[in-house]
Amino acid sequence: MTSALFLIFEILGTVAFAVSGALVGISKKMDIFGIIVLAVSVAVGGGIIRDLILGSTPPSAFVDPSYALLAAVCAVVFCMPFVRGMLAKHKAFGDRVFLVMDTLGLASFAVVGVQTAYSLYPEASFFLPAFSGVVTGVGGGVIRDVFAGEVPGIFVRQFYASAVIVGAVLCVLLWNLLGAAAASAVCMLSVVLLRFFAEKYHWHLVHPR
């Protein structure tokens, strides 16, 4: 994958997850500091967990703080009175924005996780890059939900972690077959479609009774 394409996925994932974190902070009536912390945590948290697992220390979020700063800027924008006022008046719209941003963050960071694993370990077996993609995708969301006092979405939300697992597995399977760019596109598309269809048609995993 070209460095420019990888950069696009990183920026897209950072902005999308930062917005989702800011929206959760606003819904919890946090102050601006809490909203920024939530936005930054979800934007870089998955990458930090991934880097620690892959042995890439210090994690890239601390070496290059630009992504954390970008997430903080996104949070500040959503703290502006007119944005908060619009979200308060149109809750359904805010919920849709959250779904879209959270899904884009999941899909983008799943690709970033797979790419990072292959860049560090080019001869890695199937499991490592797939696991790296899943952890990068869901890790930040887990931190966000815990900080917000919620049960992490990977345990209760329809096709949350499941969508990322499918996307990461497809990405790894197609990485050498179709090339990094095509595999990444398939990963993005599969995660987005699974989450949107699950939301629209109320798909869910089995709940033991």
* Distance of alpha carbon 132 from alpha carbon 53, whole angstroms: 8
Q: What is the pLDDT of residues 50-63, one digit of tens each?
A: 999 999 999 999 99
Contact 203, 159 (CB under 8 A): yes
The tokens 């993005």 sit on which residue? 188
Q: What is the pLDDT of residues 165-202, one digit of tens each?
A: 999 999 999 999 999 999 999 999 999 999 998 888 87
* Distance of alpha carbon 119 from alpha carbon 70, whole angstroms: 24
Band of pLDDT at residue 106, cut at 50, 70 and 90: very high
SS (H, E, C) 146-192: HHCCCCCHHHHCCCCHHHHHHHHHHHHHHHHHHCHHHHHHHHHHHHH
Contact 43, 21 (CB under 8 A): yes
DSSP 8-state code for residue 57: S
Predicted structure pTM score:
0.91
Domain positions in the chain are 3-201
CA distances from 124 to 132, 167, 207 (A): 11, 18, 35
Contact 65, 40 (CB under 8 A): no
Return the closest-CA partner of residue 47 out of 36, 35, 58, 38.
Answer: 58
